Structure 1
């Protein structure tokens, strides 16, 4: 056996994309100086949990973390998939943090994946499980992912700080992803949404819906927001409420936003949540989220800003053909993803602003990534 050649990187940024790309490109990774200067140095609990999750869905995956957590060696294995897998995501980040890397890796597994994830389903940091169900999964179908076997079931809700939510994710395998020519964002034709409440009055949901509709109904008539009030074991361990909205356009794009309100505590060493001791009233939540959705629509991309990173990864991994996509203003996460894609896949996108619409058009040739394990099975 020869010596393993590790790709050397520094710092804690873009850990998710680095792990996804390292796994798919079979490129061992050595990351040093992970928050080395911080008061609490090293990997955070959710990052360690993501590594443990990758160990569960991959075979021969080797993870080595030093005592302080500031140095990580990651040797990717073969993505196996499989069913009846259970993973507790913990409560330092929501399930949404884990879904994006998990879906991307699972598409190229040996077998379809069926996994039960436990933790926080809705918070104000990561995309909610509702957004994944309404927006992320339909987006995958554009790249040739079959809708059969692609599903996310929400069994119970979990709000911060104690979670208690459960979802079941199933992902089919694909041999390759198709390139896309996706430039027409279309006009908004309908707005759909869902509110949830757990361990609080269901009246909160009606108030949020009323406030959001008050803004949308001035603009278009087709607005339906459903309610999902959970009680008992399905309500998780902490009180909370929230709303997830999706604008569907005439060209089949889905633009989404979501938020949740709960008595969450910040992470150890974080004071960012101090000002949230007073919970935002449901009326303000409804108005704010409706305004956020209008801002996302105004940006004019085929996806919202939270989905940019995933969109770029899907295009970079697609068949060796040119993909053309239109996005609004590039998000910080999107830019970091583009850098990671160059690092691992040597795929570069040609980026051109479109001054007439204020959008950005990206063109890039996919790296032609193939699921070799699926063919052999």
Structure 2
């Protein structure tokens, strides 16, 4: 039986708008980005760059964040719609979070709460998300399902029902898609030693068209290629037309490298030919294979986050060249968790011919524990 929580423990997250002359209840600010006494003073940032990183890390670490000069060019007061929806999502999956937004949106205070389980039962969390599922900016649901979920399983996040289901597809800009993410709750995460990605053994993909041109590029390197189509019709096809391609290369040791492309959104720029999209996406996958590592570029920050949250033991992951997003994420991990990674550049020998330089990332986890996961 699950223990009953007090009214204070059941308190949900709060989000409210502050008037321009209202303070943030004595929230102490510290000069500069780095602060050695972060636990008591919180963190102070300028601008909205990497906003999602800061919001997630604030929730996980419990540290308050003040973001100044959050928007400079928008004329409408308040937060943009997509950020408001992100606030609501964090509010629904946490207890005790608080987000205060100045009406001019130049200042906002984020105070992270603790995550709680979802709507199935106490061991599973279920989240239904609606909107754009495939575009040319963010990783699509197909890449997340093919690469992020297997990576999470390496850290012990696994179990019955663990899945990312695509109910409806929605291309930009209209959206209309729907996905259901089901994840088991775990008390801790285990350390990993992912240092040898292995050789590519097969390539899998999903597309609506463009199959032939993609296969024409990839068949020169490996014969085991299978690309299937997922053509949705009617209400399940979303509000905007479009097409795309997702390619995933699996190695002998269970690593996944991905590449994807989507057509130009309706009304935004020149249309893209399906044949060109298939060829370009296949070449992007070859570039990802050349970069190498046990984790592809789109999941580097996820791997580093799970290493940071792991038990107080050594974790090692071999990555390809670090992306700008990953470099900034390392700085945020240092700010929120005081964790610094040991970075070792590994150059392939002349006879190996294993692509570009690799980076071996090593750290000791903070021993993060899910306090809402009751012991049985």
TM-score (norm 1): 0.83
Check conservation: 2:78, 2:101, Cα contact below 8 A: no
Post-superposition Cα deviations, 1:39-90, rounded to whole Å, max 9, x if no partner, equal 7897543222211110011122211111122211112222123127xxxxxx
2:185–2:373 CA contact under 8 A, matched in 1: yes
Q: In structure 1, how many angstroms separate the alpha carbons of the residues matched to 2:63 and 2:180?
A: 29
> 1:249 maps to which residue?
251
* Distance (whole Å) between structure 2 residues aligned to residue 39 and residue 328 of structure 1: 41
Structure 2: any 5+ residue segments left out of the alignment? 1-24, 28-40, 349-355
Report the counterpart of residue 187 of structure 1 in structure 2. Answer: 199
Offset at residue 8 of structure 1 (A): 2.0
Task: Tell me the CA shift for residue 264 of structure 1.
Answer: 4.1
Q: Which moved more, 1:8-17 or 1:284-293?
A: 8-17
Query: Within 1, Cα distance between the matches of 2:341 and 2:78?
Result: 32
Q: Distance in 1 between matches of 2:139 and 2:332?
A: 21
Deviation at 1:146, TM superposition (A): 1.5
| Aligned residues of 2:69 and 2:105 also touching (Cα < 8 A) | no
Distance 2:358 2:80 in 1: 35
For residues 200-237 of structure 1, give each alpha carbon's deviation from its aligned partner in whole angstroms, at most 9, with x where no partner exists. xxxxx1xx100000011111110000101111111111
Aligned equivalent of 1:370: 369
Of 135, 143, 162, which residue of structure 2 is paired with 1:123?
A: 135
1:136-164 CA-to-partner distances (Å, cap 9, x unmatched) read 10110000111323111111110011101
Aligned length: 332
Q: Distance in 1 between matches of 2:124 and 2:100?
A: 27
Give 1:132-211 correspondences, 5 Å limit: 132-196=144-208, 205=209, 208-211=210-213
Q: 1:37 to 1:110 in 2, by over 3 A?
A: farther
Question: 2:351 — aligned with what?
Answer: none
Aligned counterpart, 1:234: 236
Greater helix percent: which structure? 1
Aligned to 2:341: 349
State the partner residue of 1:77: 113
Contact 1:34-1:43 within 8 A present in 2 as well? no
Q: What is the deviation of 1:186?
A: 0.8
Partner of 1:95: none
SS in 2 for 1:226: strand
What's 1:222 paired with?
A: 224
Measured in 1, the distance between the counterparts of 2:273 and 2:221 equals 24
Alignment partners' CA distance in 2, 1:16 and 1:343:
15
CA-atom RMSD, angstroms? 2.1
CA contact (8 A) 2:203 2:226 kept: yes
For residues 231-289 of structure 1, give each alpha carbon's deviation from its aligned partner in whole angstroms, at most 9, with x where no partner exists: 11111111010011100000100001112114346xxxxxxxxxx52211000000000
Radius of gyration: which is bigger?
2
Distance 2:64 2:142 in 1: 34
Match of 1:58?
94
The 3-state SS of whatever aligns with 2:119 is strand
Matched, 1:67 2:103: yes
Indicate conservation of the 8 Å contact 1:34/1:41, yes or no: no
Secondary structure of the residue aligned to 1:246 is strand
**In 2, Cα distance between the equivalents of 1:257 and 1:249?**
15
Query: What secondary structure sits across from 2:373 in the alignment?
Result: helix
Task: Please say if residues 82 and 114 of structure 1, whose CA atoms lie closer than 8 Å, have aligned partners that are also in contact.
Answer: yes
Report if the CA contact (8 A) 1:30-1:72 is conserved.
yes
Aligned residue in 2 for 1:328: 320
The match for 1:212 among 207, 211, 214 is 214
Q: Which residue of 1 aligns with 2:85?
A: 49
Tell me, yes or no, if the aligned pair for 1:326 and 1:361 is still in contact at 8 Å: yes
Question: What SS does the aligned partner of 1:116 have?
Answer: strand
* 1:35–1:42 CA contact under 8 A, matched in 2: no
Cα displacement (A) at 1:29: 1.6
Q: Describe the SS at the equivalent of 2:263.
A: strand
Classify the secondary structure of the residue corresponding to 2:317: strand
- Paired with 2:333 and 2:123, the residues of 1 have a C-alpha distance of 25
Matched, 1:288 2:287: no
Instruction: Give me the whole-angstrom Cα distance separating, in 2, the residues matched to 1:376 and 1:8.
Output: 36
Partner SS state of residue 212, structure 1 = helix
